[in-house]
Amino acid sequence: MTKQYDAVIIGGGHNGLVASFYLARAGFEVCVLERFEGVGGAAYSEEIEGAPGHIASTGSYVLSLAPQKILNDLDAWEHGLELVHRNPRSFTPYPDGSYLVGWEEPERYKADVARFSPHDAEALGHLAAMTRRGAEIMDKFILRNPPSWAEFAAEFTQPGDEHVFQKLFIGSAAGLAEYFFEHEYTQGALCGGALIGTLRGPRDAGTAYNRLYLSMGMATGKRGAWSYVRGAMGSVSRAFAAAARLKGVEIRTNTEVANVIIKDGRATGVALTSGEEVYGKVVLSNADPQRTYLKLVDRKELPAQYVRDIEAIQIESAVLKINLAMEELPRFTALDGPEADYSWGYTGGLLISPSIDYVERAWDDSRAGRPSDYPIMNIHCQSAVDRSVAPEGKHTMSIFTQFFPYTLAEGTWDERRDELAWHTLKRLAEYAPNVLDSVIAMQVLGPPDIEARFGLTGGNIYQGDLVPEQAFDMRPVPGSKNYEGPIRGLYLCGSGAWPGGCVMGAPGHNAAHEAIAKLQAGAYN
C-alpha cells in the first residue's frame, strides 16, 4: 500500500528543510522530495570540475538573514554550522587607484570614508540609524504570516519614520545614496550593493527596499554583517537536513515531482516523474510561485485572476555567477603601497561599483539585451579565511555579477557563456592583473543555467524580485494573507513567499506553522 504522510514537501532547499523540521517536531510524518542528488537547493557546496579539492558555494555564498531563533531551534550549531569571522567586511577599489575598506570597527570605517569626504563619514551614522529603524520595523513581521500594508504602515509611529518609509521602502537605491553621500565613490558603493539580485536600475523606485532587506542582519547578530560558513554554504543545508532527520523526516533525493495531485479543489499529494504517487494531508512547495502554480498545477484548478497575478511576478534575472579555482588570490594594484595590505582585498566581500553612473550604464546595457560591458561585481575569496575549501597553497573565488540578460540580443548563453565569463575576469583584472593567469578551472552559471540547476524560474535568486510591490501581503501576489493560496492544502514555503529570498528559512518556518495549526485543528481529516 502507498504510504500516507501528513506532509509532503516539494524541494529540499533550505526552506523546505526548515519547514520539514517544524512539522516533524510537531509530531507529523513528513517526506521531503528533492530532484537533485543532494539537498540544499541554491545553498549547496560542490567541488569545481577540473579542480580537485576546490569547494565552491555553487549558488548562495554568504549568510546573514537566517533568524537566530530558527538556527537555535534546529540546533544548527550542534549539527556543524560555523560562521567564519571577516574583518574587514568589504573592500572596494576604484579606477584611479584609490580604495575603500569596510572595517568591522565603526570608527575605523568612518576614518576610511573620511579620506574621500568628511561629510560622507559623518553621514554614516545617520544612514545606520535609519537602516536600524527600518530593520526594527521589519523584525516584527519576519516570523509570521504576511502583514497587510495597513498593519505595516501602523508601525511608523516615531519622529522621522516618514523619512524611513520614503527613503528605504519606496525610494530608489540612487536616491538613497545621493541623499546621504556626496562623493561618487561612496554613492557607487551603496548603490551597487543595493541592487544585488534585482532586475532594476539604480533610479528605479523600490530598489532601496532591497538594500534594507539585505541589511537586516540576523544570523550574525549585526545589522548588515554577512559571514562565510565554514565548508561553504552546503554546510547550512547539511545542518538543517541533519536536524530534520533527527526528528524523523524522510528525505528522498533524485526524486522529481511532475505535478501536484488535486482532488475536489484540495491537494492530496504529488505524482513523480517516475510515475509513483506520494500522498499527504498537505503539500508544501519549496519551488517558486510560477513553477508551483503554472507547471506543477493544472491551471483549470486556479482562479483566472490568480493565474494572471502569478504570471505577472517580476521573476526574470540578470545575474551571472562564476565560481573559480585559483592558483593565488587577487593582488589589487591599489594595495601595492607600504601603508596597505593585500589581505584587505580578499578577507571580506569585494565590490566593483565605482559610481551611480557606472551602475546606470551596466543597467542600460542589459535593457538592450547586451551583457554589461563594465558589470557590477560582488566577489568573495572564502579560501582566504577558510582553508577547508581549497588545497594547501590554492584558493577559490566567486564572482556574483550583473547585469547579464536572461535572453541575449546577440547569440545564446551556450554560445557565449565562457566568453562572458572571461570578459568579466578581464574587467576585474583592471584592478588585480594577476587574476587572469591564476585561473585553474571555472564554473559559469548564467541566468538560464541558474534556472536549470536550481529550478529557479528566470534564474531569479529570490524567486521574485525583492521590491515593495512584491512584499508583505503582495508576495507572491496581492491578497496573500497566508501561505495556503487558492488550493486547499497546498502551501508555498519557499523564497517566493513572504518575507522573501536569501538563505533565511523564515518562509519555511511560517508556512510550516500555518500548516501545523490547520493539521492540529483537523482541517484536512
Q: Assign 2 a pLDDT band (cuts: 50, 70, 90).
A: confident
Q: Which of 513, 486, 521, 522 is nearest to 15 (CA)?
A: 513
DSSP class of residue 169 equals I
Q: What angle do CA 443, 447, 452 make, to 5 degrees?
A: 75
The predicted model gives 120-140 an average pLDDT of 96
Model confidence at 123: pLDDT above 60? yes
pTM for this model (two decimals): 0.96
What's the pLDDT tens digit per position in 452-511?
999 999 999 999 999 999 999 999 999 999 999 999 999 999 999 999 999 999 999 999
Residue pair 362/352 in contact (Cβ under 8 Å)? The answer is no
Q: At residue 446, what is the residue type?
A: G
Check: CB of residue 491 under 8 Å from CB of residue 288: no
pLDDT score of 101 more than 60: yes
363 within 8 A of 201, measured Cβ to Cβ: yes
- Mean pLDDT for 315-344 is 94
Q: What is the mean pLDDT of residues 430-437?
A: 97
Q: What does each C-alpha distance from 98 to 15, 102, 193, 371 come to in angstroms?
A: 41, 14, 19, 27
Residues 43-50, mean pLDDT to the nearest whole number: 97
Residue 280 predicted with pLDDT over 90: yes
Q: Could you give the CA distance from residue 190 to residue 210 in angstroms, rounded to a whole number?
A: 12
Q: Is the pLDDT of residue 74 over 80?
A: yes
More confident residue, 308 or 220: 308
In the block, residue with C-alpha cell 524523523: 248
CATH number of 4-43+233-313+463-520: 3.50.50.60
Q: What is the mean pLDDT of the chain?
A: 96
Q: Of 103-107, 233-237, 336-340, which gets the smallest average pLDDT?
A: 336-340
Q: Which three cell numbers stand for residue 29?
A: 510524518
Average pLDDT over residues 235-257: 98
What's the pLDDT score for residue 206? 95
For the chain, what percent of residues have pLDDT higher than 90?
Answer: 96
User: What's the angle, vertex CA 433, arms to CA 428 and CA 438, rounded to 5?
Assistant: 90
Beta-carbon count within 10 A of 370 CB: 16
SS3 content of the chain, % helix, strand, coil (to 5): 40, 20, 45
Which stretch of 9-23, 171-185, 333-347, 360-374 has the lowest confidence by average pLDDT?
A: 333-347
pLDDT of residue 1: 53
- Mean pLDDT throughout 314-339? 95
b/e map 483-513, b = 16+ CB within 10 Å: bbbbbbbbbbbbbbbbbbbbbbbbbbbbbbb
What is residue 30's three-state secondary structure? Answer: strand
* Average pLDDT, integer, range 331-336: 94
CATH of 83-229+319-403+405-445, one of 3.40.50, 3.30.70, 3.90.660, 2.10.260: 3.90.660
Instruction: Quote the CA–CA distance of 358 and 352 in Å, as a whole number.
Output: 10
Span 47-56, average pLDDT: 97
Q: At residue 380, does pLDDT exceed 60?
A: yes
Count other Cβ atoms within 10 Å, centred on residue 74.
Answer: 27
pLDDT in tens, 135-185: 999 999 999 999 998 999 999 999 999 999 999 999 999 999 999 999 999
List the domain boundaries for the chain: 4-43+233-313+463-520, 83-229+319-403+405-445
Of 350, 365, 378, nearest in space to 461 by CA:
378
Phi/psi for 250 (5° steps) reads -90, 120
